């Protein structure tokens, strides 16, 4: 479902709202890189499963599928994605558990 014109989905809109304060504080370059990893993760989740339209619909199944599809990434890139997913999982979605990690 697209809102705010033809370029932004509901999930991207929710993520951008949640990232507003996150991007204003701390190390700017690192925060921008981490925010881009979060956006990339959400875009890939939506591309693989178009039925998911909101951040709250992302669960362990989608994260595990993401890791399986991106097994070819370098360990440092996997770690960067894990930190991004962890921020979404714990700070935006307010879940008490930790998200699944990559096998490597």
Instruction: Check pLDDT > 70 for residue 104.
Output: no
What's the domain range around 44?
28-103
Whether residue 90 lies inside any domain: the answer is yes
> Lowest-pLDDT range, 26-30, 43-47, 62-66?
26-30
What H or E segment, with its residue span, contains residue 87?
Answer: helix 75-87
Instruction: Give CA–CA dist 62/42, Å, rounded.
Output: 10
Instruction: Give CA–CA dist 97/63, Å, rounded.
Output: 13
What's the number of domains the chain is made of?
A: 1
Whether residue 19 lies inside any domain: the answer is no
Q: Does residue 82 contact residue 102 with C-beta atoms inside 8 Å?
A: yes
- What pLDDT score was predicted for residue 26? 86
Residues in Cβ contact with 27 at an 8 Å cutoff, skipping those fewer than 6 apart = none
Give the global pTM: 0.89
Whether residue 62 lies inside any domain: the answer is yes
What H or E segment, with its residue span, contains residue 47?
Answer: helix 28-48
């Amino acid at each position: 479902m697209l809102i705010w014109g033809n370029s932004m989905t509901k999930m991207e809109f929710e993520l951008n709202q949640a990232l507003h304060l996150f991007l204003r504080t701390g190390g700017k370059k690192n925060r921008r890189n981490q925010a881009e990893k979060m956006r990339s993760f959400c875009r890939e989740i939506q591309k693989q499963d178009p039925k998911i339209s909101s951040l709250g619909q992302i669960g362990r199944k989608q994260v595990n599928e993401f890791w399986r599809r991106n097994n070819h990434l370098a360990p440092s890139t996997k770690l960067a994605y894990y930190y991004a997913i962890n921020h979404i999982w714990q700070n935006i979605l307010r879940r008490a558990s930790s998200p699944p990690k990559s096998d490597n």
